[in-house]
Structure 1
Amino acid sequence: MIKDDFIQFLEEGNLSIPKFLLSNYTKLGLNETEFILLLHIHSFLESGKTFPTPMEIADLMTISPSDCMETIRHLLKKGYLTISDEMDELNIKYERYSLQPLWEKMIQYMMERKQIEKIQHTEEEEVSLYTIFEKEFARPLSPFECESLSLWIDQDEHDTSVIKAALREAVLSGKLNFRYIDRILFEWKKNGIKTVDQAKEYSKKFRKYQLQQKKTAVGHEKEQTNTVPFYNWLD
């Protein structure tokens, strides 16, 4: 008997709901009764019963059919649930519940939360950026320097990580001033540099070019000092 009950239990299947919804249903404006009622409707829809009665739903909860009906009306009014008219294969009209409004609200809330998190992260990055600059300059930034930082972020749309990379480049070059950093960022933007990796690669090539230029200049000075000037006899 236990074996048969267990097999029946397995055949009833499982109800899958987004974990995000389970963790955030209160933030979507739902209370426990509304949430559980929606889950039961979801379960009925999953099993193929598209329009369960308030009594059928209430039998699975601790509320009366009238309270269930009132809760359903409330969910319809608040836009968490809809009832649509459908046609079956025999062109017979029937009604069904749809949880699409609930999923849309969940997605909208998810997108808004991501946007808020992005804004908070950007603000934290900017605060960190000011702190890093003040640490490198070993002094508080002037109003002009603060404005320059804001312009690099807001107007020039440089990522904070790229601005940090430009600061490191200025430190390595021994030219720690905002004008030099601004020039670095200008050159990077002109050459399509948008990431730290691209900036590192560009700086590596630039240093290599500078080293070659110095070697060429030194070699040229030696030639002028130690060799006879070359004349092109064909001219």
Structure 2
Amino acid sequence: MIKTGLLEWMKEGHILVPSFLLSHYKTLGLNESELMLLLQLQNFSEQGNMFPTPAEISARMTFTEAECLFFLQKLIQKGFIIIEEQITDSIRHESYSLEPMQVKIINCFLSEQNHKESEQVKQEEESLYTVFEKEFGRPLSPFECETLAMWMDDDAHKPEIIKAALKEAVISAKLNFRYIDRILFEWKKNGIKTVEQAKRQGEKFRVHQKRGRKPETAVITDVPFYNWLEQ
């Protein structure tokens, strides 16, 4: 008997509820009653009943038929559900569509993601200014702040790449914005987009730089290296 009961329970199926909906229904403008009614509509739909009556919904809930009708109207007004009409063999069929609710959930999720990304970019930019001021040992001038903003906004350099260029300037003992700007220009021209690529390029440059410091009496067999940062 228990096994048979469990099999019948399994046949009832399961309803898939996005966890984002449960954690953000208030943000979406829903209350608990409206949310539960939406879930009931979804469950009815998955069971093949696309247009349950207020009486059918009420039988599953603690609301009266009138209250169920009221919440259905509210959900339509808020744009969470729509009533679709279809005609088959001259017979008109109506059904509730939950697609508007799904669109709202997706838009809310994307909006939250964009907000998180914006906050992250803001924190990275603030961190970038702090790193520069720490290396320069003083507050940045308005012109220097404008240059930093230009590197990020106009030249589309990521904060981590700008920090890598700053590090190269520190290693080369040429801590100034003009030098850093040259590094960034050259990296962009050569398609360098990651910190690892920038690191390898910096190491390569320093190797060539050391070779260029050989004594004048030494026989130079290598092709002269063009030091673009010294121009």
TM above 0.5, one fold? yes
Please report the RMSD computed on the Cα atoms of aligned residues, expressed in angstroms: 1.8
Residue type at the aligned position of 2:73: R
Alignment of 1:93-172 (within 5 A): 93-172=92-171
* Whole-Å separation in 2 of the counterparts to 1:146 and 1:173: 22
Q: Which runs of 5+ in 1 are unaligned?
A: 225-235
* Whole-Å separation in 2 of the counterparts to 1:180 and 1:167: 9
Output one character per residue of 1:40-92: Cα deviation in whole Å (capped at 9) or x when no partner.
0000111111111111111111111111101101111111001111245x564
Q: How many residues align?
A: 220
The equivalent of 2:20 in structure 1 is: 20
Alignment of 1:180-219 (within 5 A): 180-215=179-214, 218=215
Question: Structure 1 residues 223 and 37, CA, compared in 2 at 3 Å: closer, same or farther?
Answer: closer
Residue type at the aligned position of 1:11: K
* Whole-Å separation in 1 of the counterparts to 2:140 and 2:217: 43
* Whole-Å separation in 2 of the counterparts to 1:28 and 1:126: 31
* TM-score normalised over the length of structure 2: 0.89
The equivalent of 1:78 in structure 2 is: 78
Deviates further, 3-12 or 180-189: 3-12
Q: Which runs of 5+ in 2 are unaligned?
A: 221-231
The equivalent of 1:231 in structure 2 is: none
Residue type at the aligned position of 1:64: T
Following superposition, the deviation at residue 223 of structure 1 comes to 4.9
Output one character per residue of 1:158-190: Cα deviation in whole Å (capped at 9) or x when no partner.
100100101111111111111111111111112
Alignment of 1:171-182 (within 5 A): 171-182=170-181
* Whole-Å separation in 1 of the counterparts to 2:32 and 2:106: 20
SS of alignment partner, residue 27 of structure 2: coil
The equivalent of 2:11 in structure 1 is: 11
How much identity, in percent, do the aligned residues show?
49
Following superposition, the deviation at residue 141 of structure 1 comes to 1.5
Say which one has the larger Rg. Answer: 1
- 1:221 paired residue among 217, 221, 227: 217
* Whole-Å separation in 1 of the counterparts to 2:50 and 2:127: 54
* Whole-Å separation in 1 of the counterparts to 2:191 and 2:148: 20
The equivalent of 1:68 in structure 2 is: 68
The equivalent of 2:223 in structure 1 is: none
Deviates further, 61-70 or 183-192: 183-192
